[in-house]
Amino acid sequence: MDKQQIMNTAESVLMHTYGRFPMVLDHGEGLYLYETDGTKYLDFAAGIAVFALGYSNDNYKAALKDQVDKLLHTSNYYYNVPATVAAQRVCKASGMDRVFFTNSGAEAVEGAIKVARKLYYNKHGHADSTIIAMNHSFHGRTLGAVAVTGKAAYREPFEPLIGGVLFAEYNNLESVKALIDDRTAAIIMETVQGEGGIYPADKDFLQGVRKLCDDNDILLILDEIQCGMGRTGTMFAYEQYGVLPDVVTMAKALGCGVPVGAFAARGEAAEALVPGDHGSTYGGNPFACRAVETVFDEFERLAVVDNVKKVSVYLWDTLEAIRGEFSVITDHRGIGLMQGLEFSIPVGDIVKATMVEGCILIAAGSNVIRFIPPLVVTEAHVDEMAEKLRRAIRKVVG
């Protein structure tokens, strides 16, 4: 089938849950993606912050091919080596005690919610706990994850959702305090809001939330599905705030393309779930966990976090220069290689125009373009992206 036939067929057989761009991607190399017709794109979206290592990393491919020849799946009735090694790596990097592997970020959030509610039940003997989440947050598309997502448009069509969820204002500590009572089991928040428009937590706010949790025997759940795994310049963004969560969720770059997520916990939260409380047929399978193990190996070999620290400064300076050139750009914010430009106009046409120029960018909301490239990006890639973006903006706004 040619490109148009593929798109037409896809539209006839796939559910219409995505507004896809008219491209049919075939393969990738480094930071570049190629369509079936050979069209080349510089990728500054990384599969929505997934492909930290870029495309076609030789060691990653070799490890997965080797695992295919050994064992793909066992179920969790038995032990396997990749899951054990991957769990060690996750716990060491995150500061947590135990980990549960899932198949996605949304499942990781579901598991974190269950940890909070089960621990509250263990302590109090009744199951009427509440969870405080943040307005403008995004935690996933499953019913539990949607229930703690702070956008009414995502929740309303699927109500009634799980109850007992209250919403505070991100970076407003007083709004969090006002919601705490003796039924509060946990506070869940993104360390850096992604879909909500690239908003990092203020240091005073996150440290204040941590203290509220300590003072009131509440779990702090940090969602690092998008901002974790080195993207902000540390393996987990909370490292830069001097706090440690009780539970952390992760996915995306954890597997660099293989569908895998995890929730990890420490202390009493790590012991809350017992046999029968939670499970997953595919979660923690040898193939996915070999991917996780190899990602950690490649992060070390390539000094990925050090590269993020270096190139993120260059990206910041470059985007600041672009901001100064166009009056439609009203703000620039972010941390590490998770940055956003806010516009006074919807950015959809600019994103499309940038793709025509040969660069993939994506939006965060209607008026923010986010920059979440593979973590092996170089300054030369930033320069190439910047020129394509400049041309696209000029095409749209003149």
Q: What is the CATH number of the domain that holds 136?
A: 3.40.640.10
State the pLDDT at residue 116. Answer: 98
Looking at the structure, do residues 161 and 89 belong to the same domain, yes or no?
Answer: yes
Looking at the structure, do residues 147 and 266 belong to the same domain, yes or no?
Answer: yes
Looking at the structure, do residues 292 and 355 belong to the same domain, yes or no?
Answer: no
Looking at the structure, do residues 322 and 380 belong to the same domain, yes or no?
Answer: yes
Looking at the structure, do residues 139 and 241 belong to the same domain, yes or no?
Answer: yes
* Last residue in a domain, options 275, 301, 327: 301
Looking at the structure, do residues 65 and 51 belong to the same domain, yes or no?
Answer: no
Looking at the structure, do residues 192 and 89 belong to the same domain, yes or no?
Answer: yes
Cis amide leading into 160 (omega within 30): yes
CATH label of the domain that carries residue 326: 3.90.1150.10
Torsion from C-alpha of 44, 106, 268, 79, nearest 10 degrees: -90
pLDDT digits (tens, 9 = 90+) for 278-317: 999 999 999 999 999 999 999 999 999 999 999 999 999 9
Average pLDDT of every residue of the chain: 97
* Last residue in a domain, options 301, 336, 357: 301
Looking at the structure, do residues 34 and 129 belong to the same domain, yes or no?
Answer: no
Looking at the structure, do residues 285 and 363 belong to the same domain, yes or no?
Answer: no
Per-residue DSSP letter, 258:
S
pLDDT digits (tens, 9 = 90+) for 96-134: 999 999 999 999 999 999 999 999 999 999 999 999 999
**DSSP E strands, 338-389:** 338-343, 359-360, 362-363, 368-371
State the pLDDT at residue 298. Answer: 98
Per-residue DSSP letter, 365:
S
Residue 38 CB-density burial (10 A; 0-12 exposed, 13-18 middle, 19+ buried): exposed
Distance CA 245, CA 284 (A): 22
Looking at the structure, do residues 145 and 117 belong to the same domain, yes or no?
Answer: yes
Q: Quick check: 252 and 106 in contact, CB under 8 A?
A: no
State the pLDDT at residue 1. Answer: 83
Looking at the structure, do residues 165 and 41 belong to the same domain, yes or no?
Answer: no
Counting the structural domains of the chain, the total is 2
State the pLDDT at residue 11. Answer: 96
- What is the phi/psi pair of residue 136, to 5°? 70, 10
Q: Which domain holds residue 228?
A: 59-301
Q: Is the pTM of this model over 0.95?
A: yes
* Last residue in a domain, options 249, 271, 301: 301
Query: Which segments in the chain show pLDDT lower than 70?
Result: none
State the pLDDT at residue 398. Answer: 81
Looking at the structure, do residues 122 and 227 belong to the same domain, yes or no?
Answer: yes
Q: 195: which 2 tokens? A: 């879909």
